[in-house]
Amino acid sequence: MKAFFAREQLLHDQSVEFNRGELTAPYESGKRAEMLFSALEAAFPGAARDAAEFPVSHLLDIHDADYIGFLQSAFGEWIAEGRTGDAFPMVWPVHDMRGEKIPNTIVGKISHYSFEISTAITKHSWISARRSAETALSGAQELSRGANMAFSLCRPPGHHAGRGYFGGYCYLNNAGIAAQYLRNEGALRIAILDVDYHHGNGTQQIFYDRDDVFYVSVHADPDTDFPYFLGYADETGAGKGEGFNLNIPLSRGAAWPSYGEALSHALNRIGDYAPDALIVSLGVDTSAGDPLSGFLLTRDDFARMGAAIAALQRQTLFVFEGGYAINDVGGNVVSVLNGFLGAAHSTP
């Protein structure tokens, strides 16, 4: 197994977060990536690889050109207007407001391109987000060269980023960019299995009208959890994509009996789809004790998850998403990977 990472991903360093009515230290910090990288090095000596660089065209395959331009210039514009600190949104164009308008001021632009208040643009957000996407691309490239599996340690995460918006700690949709890369390399069908605690609203939006990428998500019910306005079971795709979007929301307090049943259903549907490759948006914020979660998965449950995914016998790229119990993130991810590798090696 090869595990890809880029040190530039640590540069993004948001100073504060507004979460559920409180100003807090950011839950999504570089420390979680550092802890995970150390755990990977200890568990899989020699597996770590530096992420390669890729043309920005791979990002434009998924994201709108004006949005990419905004990410590249936003912090510079923020500073040029005489502002200091991190750049946060202020107003969202809801209901009858003109959401298609892009104001000239940077505060207006940030408000246009974001969908929530906890995620800021910082001095290094663009370089970290781009290197995170290139980490996912490096894993996808490894699969295109014939590898059975790879792990991409992506930070910032990606599954909340849509074609033209950021939020939920996400700026570029790493799993989506990797999926399109594999399509460009000749794969006819890709499945994305999202096991993060939160629904990947951005990934769903990107592929909602497509039948060549099947998005399947097991997540917390948006009636009670972020992102609240997408992730319901009746969202099944549109146009050519009808039937190729599957949401399986679970109630808070879900432990392995109910989670495992939902995962089995998700994997059966993916098996019926028969993808050429599988991308797993691997969030381990489903663990008991995660500060942003209400599920109760254990270390052993993560190993079961990895083994169940391996049973599909598909080329598989794991793309790291959430997981905010910093002391547990590394062990939980390693458990998933060990479960996958153990099952894969025992399969005839």
The residues carrying an active-site annotation are 160
Sequence-separated (6 or more) residues with CB below 8 Å from residue 97: none
107 to 88, 93, 100, 239: CA distances (angstroms): 7, 13, 15, 35
Kindly tell me the burial class for residue 189, based on how many C-beta atoms sit within 10 Å of its own C-beta (0-12, 13-18, 19 or more): middle
In angstroms, the CA 100 to CA 150 distance is 39
User: Smallest Cα–Cα separation from 280: which of 181, 196, 189?
Assistant: 196
The DSSP element (H or E) to which 249 belongs, if any, is strand 245-250
In angstroms, the CA 151 to CA 273 distance is 23
C-beta neighbour count of 2 within 10 angstroms: 16
Q: What are phi and psi of 282, to 5 degrees?
A: -95, 95
311: helix, strand or coil: coil
Give the up-direction half-sphere exposure of residue 264: CA atoms within 13 A in the CB hemisphere. 7
Q: The tokens of 215 are what? A: 């998005």
CB 321, CB 136: distance < 8 Å: no
